[in-house]
Amino acid sequence: MTVAFPMPDTETPTQLEQLFWAHQDRVLRAAYRITGNMADAEDVAQTVFIRLAASPNQSIDNPESYLYRAAINGALDLMRRRKSELALDDADAAEAVASSPVGSPERQVSSRELGQWLRNALAKVAPVEAEMFVLRFVEGRDNREIAEMLGTSRAVVAVRLHQVRAKLKRQFQRSYEATK
């Protein structure tokens, strides 16, 4: 059964529709980078715009930044809810990967596992730290851009990035040692 929604009397798109068409791809890509799964990214993007539609009287100074942050936070929330842990392979598998050619299936699997580990690890740190990490090391933004997006100083961004990298390094070392 097909459900048809009545079209508005005017052909002028609403402000929400304009925001959706202007930013849907960026919101989806941001969510995908965190979740690593297109279906999850689509769910996050849908949730972002549904929440925006549910609060139509909300005033947004910088819609691009707001929607991007909402996508990152929504994806991190999804990852936290799942709390799925990925155990790293044992030392034999790691050694096999290390000795494999660059484009080999072993390296591709290892790269996917590492990406999944990173997504899970980011879900465990403070949201602002995860957001800064993604903006810096996934999106390639510099500290000045991150500071502007998040309404803080470059010094704060630098310190928080240093802290989150140290936390992730410790988590990775613990995970690796646990597989020995």
- Predicted confidence (pLDDT) per residue in 143-178, tens digit: 999 898 888 999 999 999 999 999 988 888 888 777
The pLDDT assigned to 153 comes to 92
The pLDDT assigned to 110 comes to 63
DSSP string, 103-171: TSHHHHHHHHHHHHHHHHHHTTS-HHHHHHHIIIIIS---HHHHHHHHTS-HHHHHHHHHHHHHHHHHH
Q: What is the pLDDT along the chain (180 residues), one digit of tens a residue?
A: 343 434 445 566 788 888 888 999 989 988 888 888 888 999 999 999 888 888 867 778 888 888 988 898 888 888 877 654 333 333 444 444 444 454 555 545 567 788 888 888 888 888 888 888 988 888 888 999 989 888 899 999 999 999 999 998 888 888 877 776
The pLDDT assigned to 108 comes to 54
The pLDDT assigned to 56 comes to 66
Taking the model in full, what pTM does it have? 0.54
The pLDDT assigned to 101 comes to 53
The pLDDT assigned to 46 comes to 92
Q: What 3-state class would DSSP assign to 84?
A: coil
Residue-range domains of the chain with CATH:
15-178 (1.20.140.160)
